[in-house]
Amino acid sequence: MSGNRDYRGIDLFRIAAAFLVVAIHTSPLASYSATADFILTREIARVAVPFFFMTTGFFVLGSRERTLSFLKKTAVIYALSILLYLPVNVYAGHLDGLTIAGLFTQLFFEGTFYHLWYLPAALLGVPIASLLLKKLGARAALAISALLYCAGLLGDSYYGLIDGVPGIGPFYDALLSIMGHARNGLFYAPVFLLLGSRLRDRRPGGKFSAAGLILSGALLIGEGLALRSMELQLHDSMYIFLPAVMYFLFELLSSIRGSCPRWAANFSLLVYILHPAIIIVVRGAARLLGLWGPLVENSIGHYLAVCALSALSSAAILPLFGLLFFPRQGPRSRAWLELDSSALRHNYRALSELLPPAGRLMCVLKADAYGLGAKGAVPALSAEGASLWAAATAEEGKMLRKYGAKGLILILGRTPVSDIAVLRRYRLTQTVVSLEYARELASARRRVDVQIKLDTGMHRLGIDWMDIDSIDAVFSTPFLRVTGMYTHLASSENLNPSDADFTREQSERFFAAAETLRSRGRDVGMLHTQSSYGLLNYPELRCDCARTGIALCGVKSSEGDSTARWPGLRPVLSLRARVAEVRTVPPGEGVGYDRAYVTRRETRLAAIPVGYADGIFRTANGAHALVNGKAAPIAGRICMDQLLLDITDCGEVRPGDIVTFIGRDGSAAISAEELASQCGTITNELFSRLGSRLPRIWI
């Protein structure tokens, strides 16, 4: 039910599907052509409900927590829907003479009002699909659900094949007297739920999906018309080709990525629930206003009136509905990252001052801006005039462009030629690491801006600085426009004489190669050698730009690092969480997994809902957090989602109090370098492994 903002195609089609359901119940083309209306409402529109099931399977199945949450919310929505339509059922006489068996059918299969059957089908189908998935695995579960669907076909569109057949016909008649329809949570829902779940782990197709959709859609329409002409249908909800249509349709929709408003899913659900009541309202208003002809007898007018009023009603109720059933968790309710945009902007200015007058900073925002979140970092740096950027992959470069990065975006890693369209569409500059790779890029016969990386001693990527002929050949490679060259300094973070000499030697090698190329008439373009430590320790290297990453974050890689200059850089990132629970444990008790921590005194422990899935390394030996401005040691093993702190000496602590793992609390502070050291790593790794479920809050 809830939307996912990364799947624009799925979320937007929810709205279309809701209005297709409206079409089923209003027959928009009935005034003009019975056959056209049949194709629209009894075939094309039949994709709507399976789509809802596949969406549920895609986002819900496979997670016990999400499944239980979905079932609880759906049960409440179903109960409220029953109450909403109870007066309608009473007025229409649907409850007159209702038996216990009839009530069972209404509640568990029919939905107490003809269009609400999706809700009980979901409440039954999701547990069935989950059980099949857990016990049998994905393939067997899908096979069993397909068999159930085939069995359901004989009680729906293919009923004429078994009607009157001894044994089979009476069996289905008895079954349908209990279930009402075969399109329910047993026969109908599981196959679409499991198809949705299966597609979650598959790479979406492109042209193949579209071709498959067109072919299977044509076969579905042909199937429906044939069944109609042969009068085999008892109902018209289930077709042989419907699962194939849904597979290709959903595969195509899931390939359309991008942001979508959060309200799309809830809006579509409200349209689905409310539109039958709106049909009653439109008919009543048409009588009172003398507009029965245009609003009811004219099928298109009737459909449009119901759609418009359903949309307006849903939009009016949407805020309350979302608040009741899909409340948004506050970004500071569990654990979060605080990012100081003023500190980031200060660091950009301070580092820029280390450059020669014409020099510029290249902001390296790989790994989602070193964990800071590129979506917030790009606008902050752009406000300072940043126009040079770098990322590790083409996908990262694409996201920088989408977040608003203007100017040059250099891709530091090797991009497959198959992704050259991404380089061109988002105007990315690709690094060339060898002559062979340059020719491989050129084989695509599409113009690309490139910069050449030279290997001057790092021996990781790049063309050997002495292989001038190969470097020169890149300049003349067709379809490639060389805009610069660079190298990477292997030991610039060290200031000891040996490493300092090697760093300067690398620089001399690089500029010697550049000068030789100039003598051959080549325009070498932008030249750069320095990363963060190269700029901090060797600012005298006169380059056109410096590639800064970790320094922009306002931290050093390691706690003990010395730098020739440190221009007042300020930490950008703080990591905080809230206390979940507090308890007192007597002395001599083992705490946590393996009882690795034994209390030496009566100890007060606070459970904190963060763990190594959030980026607090399991190896954080001797680490502590700040609570009430005092150090609280980590007690025992760090779990995936939580850890324990010894808060005995931290004063009064209650659930909801803030805990600081990186950052300042009162007069006390924990640096990122300190936590990284306790984790046995560097800040670069610590930051880049901060979990995606931590909200990034820019202040």
Cite the active site residues. 366, 593
Please give, one letter per residue, the 3-state secondary structure of 39-78: HHHHCHHHHHHHHHHHHHHHHCCCCHHHHHHHHHHHHHHH
* Unique residue bearing structure tokens 């099949």: 132
- Cα–Cα distance between 257 and 341 in angstroms, integer? 28
**Phi and psi of 241, rounded to 5°?**
-90, -5
Residue 479 region, left (φ>0) first, then alpha (ψ -120 to 50), else beta? left
Annotate 536-567 with b (16+ C-beta within 10 A) or e (fewer).
bbbbebebbbbbbbbbbbbbbbebebebeeeb
Q: Tokens 């009653």, residue?
A: 280
End-to-end Cα, the chain, rounded Å:
32
Pairwise CA distance, residues 597 & 574, whole Å: 27
What is the helix (H) or strand (E) element at residue 255, kind and residue range?
none
Closest by Cα among 172, 75, 70, 72 to 116: 75
State the burial class of residue 224 (Cβ atoms within 10 Å of its Cβ: 0-12, 13-18, 19+): buried
Structure tokens at 202: 């598959």
Which residues lie below 8 Å from residue 692, measured CB to CB, with a gap of 6+?
none
Q: Which residues contact 245 (CB under 8 A, 6 or more apart)?
A: 47, 213, 216, 217, 220
Residues 613, 617, 618, CA angle at the centre, nearest 5°?
A: 95
Question: By the 8 A CB rule, do 538 and 491 touch?
Answer: no
Q: Which residue has the tokens 């430590």?
A: 533
Alpha helices in 363-432 (DSSP H): 366-370, 374-382, 394-402, 420-425
Instruction: Compute the distance between CA of residue 602 and CA of residue 590 in angstroms, rounded to an integer.
Output: 12
CB within 8 Å of 347: residues ≥ 6 apart: 551, 552, 553, 554, 569, 570, 572
Structure tokens at 680: 């046995």
